[in-house]
Amino acid sequence: MRTMVLIVMLGAMATASWAAGITPLKVKPGLWETSTTNTTSGQMGLPPEAAGKLTPEQRAKIEAAMAARGAGGPKSTTYTNCVTEDDLSKDPFQDKNQIKDFKCDETVMQSTGSSLELHEVCSQQSSKFDAHVTLQALDSEHVKGTVQADITMGGRTMHQDMSFTSKRTAATCPADK
């Protein structure tokens, strides 16, 4: 899940003019620090194709771990990532439809150099990801935003509310980023 959230946030932050209807956010490349607060309710189920391959013990263990993710209230995380000139000039969502049977539709509701609002719906077999994303570039080194997402899998739905702030911390990235 962190990967999907990171893709949505970075993709929206680094969106450039390659996508129809999207105006690039005016942000600089470099090392960015992102702080997120995520609240989860509900619980995803296991896709039938995966659940059928598990023993009852394996299934119970996975379902308990998934239930624990939503327990305990909001969770905060801070991490860094590198945004390069290349990231700013290509579609960060370009691989989303490369996964077998994974199809996405994106509706851009608003797009300027300082804000972006979009609705993304992706589905694969019995799974669906439905997200509403808003971003605001406060300046070329600060972005804030929200993501509200419903993830339906295995007949169950999990809802996530996430808010984040990102700030550019350096003009260049360390070798390990």
Cα separation of 87 and 29, whole Å? 8
Q: Please tell me the distance from the alpha carbon of residue 14 to that of residue 90, in angstroms, as a whole number.
A: 8
Q: How far apart are CA 163 and CA 148, in angstroms?
A: 9
Domain boundaries, the chain: 2-170
Percent of the chain surpassing pLDDT 90: 31
Amino acid identity, position 135: L
Residue (of 158, 136, 134, 137) closest to 146 by Cα position: 134
Tell which residue, 112, 37, 40, has the closest CA to residue 69: 40
- Each residue's pLDDT tens digit, 94-137: 555 555 666 888 888 888 889 989 898 988 877 888 999 999 99
